[in-house]
Structure 1
């Protein structure tokens, strides 16, 4: 939302792409991200709150009724200072939500469903607080809100169940949930300092003695062939034993009968590749397409992470 105030919202590339996709028949979801990590969250009635509402007023006329789902917030409990992750956070986002609801009602734009999002770290004891409970209470008690978004980035596949066990009982019968991000990225991160597998090092002598993060860095510095990238992942037990994760996770979400949308990361980007080291968060291992670590194929398509492609295709067919 801090991208407002300069270029007209409707002329921004991201918004133009989103609206064009919907015109071509795609379902669309837009999350409204309010980053306040470096300053206090505005209190209702403050000048900062007026600024936040003015930014909303730039965006809402462009997207309301023109996108299928609008998520009020992105990762609110991570995108503010730790000191603000209580009632101050709830008050801020509840006022934003009421403002969005009022705008939608005035425009009669009921074709855009509204969700509150997104909750993180619900698989950890410290991730469940009075503020997250108040968040879900507000969602349940507000008729115009269709549900809640979750972002289960996990260190173990079973962690998503803890999200569902916390969130689903709090929803009304007519409400659903989104999972606009999900992955095992925290599990991958735990293994960046591991020695590369002996099988991979035996086949590719140049990586003998290296750690996992160093092999990934080598792929970023000089992209691997598709075959070499496939072998690196398949010969890494901590990765290969979870190669059905994407399919399994979507099936778990769908099995609740309460899933509205699950979205998965399509492509590596520049931020994932920049300054990669042992302490990086390896988002690039989640991606379906791998233009930063894999050479393009003969047909011109980018390289890919073939651990995920079958599961992704089967999810579309379902």
Structure 2
């Protein structure tokens, strides 16, 4: 979120591989049960059926095996603390980041952008990679460029610089990061669709022109937000899915279910799965219960924690995290803080359950989860700061290194590692 082919052009993917049920049902409520609950609430079932897919011919289909149910890590815009050895410790094979499509690309080559450089490095080290192209019009209060305009030409030149660097090297390129949040509120309608469809057609044409015999890089549209909220399910989001369905060159779409409950995550999944045509997949390159964590930042700390660590029982959750940022905790203390907190302990299985939910649809391509605590997560820490810092697998900014080992959020680390075996 914020932390701030001669064969065919069909993008259908291989059938879902069977996975051992024992691992997938080890902890808590199953993903299928959560998704069923979401469908019951909306009255729709996740059939994955839609209009009949065309049978395209041509020579531009992606090469290699399509991903199915993979779980990797995400660094968003900041790969500074990402370490390949730590990825291997997690058994992670996929990594995702995003590149802002800003005027930095007018002054530098794409390979000078941190995310692009790091993903190319990861690819060279045997990891599979996902790059999202972020168009931050909301941040810069800029209107969406119109087709044929000078502003559009500027955007497409930036796109081409990125494509020159990554097409054929990254495994997945996602067109857009969070378009509905990164566009001005007054333009989150058909104008948004027109812009992103225009960019997507440009990317498709580029891949066809540069790689007439097929290309490693698969294309997705990304990423839809707040689909658990009625107000976010608009004609523009419906058109977004419809565009994905009618373009054989686009394999699917991305979602970012940052929510306050697993049931809300189920509503996200139900929305896309019930609308995506057969053969289309989804990514979940960001997901968490950060909105639930946010609700508890003002809670007083657990009495057991206060007693064990001689802390005032009136201390608030956000203050404990702030103390850990200022002077990183021993591993045991960070683990105790989280596992003694009811709001966290009652959701200790959420990573497992969310991934189960994604996989049980049979339509997940790749999900990626936050790997490390990046600098922006701690900058300006206070009671109103969104607590992204709780999410990552490695607690590298709140837990001190011990015996040469980077701090971690043990619950997430163990869950993630276990999901690689399922």
Work out whether the TM-score is over 0.5.
yes
Which sits farther off after the overlay, 100-109 or 27-36?
100-109
Partner of 1:253: 358
CA distance in 1, matches of 2:297, 2:134: 29
Q: Is the 8 A contact 2:328 2:400 kept in 1?
A: yes
TM-score (norm 1): 0.97
Match of 2:44 in 1: none
- Could you tell me whether the CA contact under 8 Å between 2:396 and 2:408 is conserved in 1? yes
Q: How does 1:209-248 map to 2 (within 5 A)?
A: 209-248=314-353
Aligned match for 1:127, one of 201, 220, 232: 232
State the SS of the aligned residue for 2:251.
strand
Gapped runs of 5+ residues in structure 2? 1-100
Runs of 4+ with >6 A deviation: none
Matched with 1:187 is: 292
Pick the aligned partner of 1:35 from 125, 136, 154.
Answer: 136
1:207, 1:76 → 2: CA distance? Answer: 44
Which whole-Å deviations, capped at 9, do the CAs of 1:53-109 have from their partners, x for residues lacking one?
111111111111111000000000001110010011111100000000000010124
Q: Which runs of 5+ in 1 are unaligned?
A: none
Matches within 5 A, 1:64-213: 64-108=167-211, 109-213=214-318
Structure scoring higher RCO (CA < 8 A, sep ≥ 6) equals 2
Paired position in structure 2 for 1:273: 378
In the alignment, the residues of structure 2 paired with residue 283 and residue 207 of structure 1 have an alpha-carbon distance, to the nearest angstrom, of: 25
Deviation for aligned residue 1:301 = 2.0
Structure 1 residue 24 displacement after superposition: 2.1
Give yes or no for contact 2:394–2:413 (8 Å, CA) kept in 1: no
- Looking at structure 1, the residues matched to 322 and 189 of structure 2 have their Cα atoms a distance apart, in angstroms, of 39
> CA offsets, 1:99-151, max 9 Å, x none?
00000010124321100000000001111111101111111111110000000
| Distance in 2 separating the partners of 1:244 and 1:169 | 26
Q: Deviations over 1:254-301 (max 9, x none)?
A: 111110000000000110011111111100100111121111111x12
CA contact (8 A) 2:331 2:407 kept: yes
2:252 aligns to what SS in structure 1? strand
The yes-or-no answer on 1:306 pairing with 2:406 is no
- Aligned positions, number: 317
Cα drift, residue 207 of structure 1: 3.8
Cα displacement (A) at 1:28:
0.6
What is residue 46 of structure 2 aligned with on the other side? none
SS in 1 for 2:128: coil
Taking the aligned partners of 2:345 and 2:330, their CA distance within structure 1 comes to 18
In structure 2, the residue matched to 1:58 is 161
**How many Å separate the matches in 2 of 1:268 and 1:44?**
39
RMSD: 1.1
Q: Distance in 2 between matches of 1:157 and 1:164?
A: 11
CA distance in 2, matches of 1:239, 1:103: 46
Q: Is the 8 A contact 1:155 1:186 kept in 2?
A: yes
Q: Which has the larger displacement, 107-116 or 120-129? A: 107-116
Moved more, 302-311 or 10-19: 10-19
Give the deviation of 1:16 after TM superposition.
2.2
Distance in structure 2 (CA, Å) of the matches to 1:301 and 1:73? 36
1:281-292 correspondence runs (5 A): 281-292=386-397
Separation of aligned partners in 1, 2:269 and 2:380: 35
Deviation (angstroms), 1:169: 2.2
Structure 2 SS opposite 1:205:
coil
- Show the counterpart of 2:90: none
Which residue does 2:108 correspond to in 1?
Answer: 7
Secondary structure of 2:227's counterpart equals coil
1:214-262 deviation line (CA, Å, top 9, x unaligned): 1111111111111111110011000011111111111111111110000
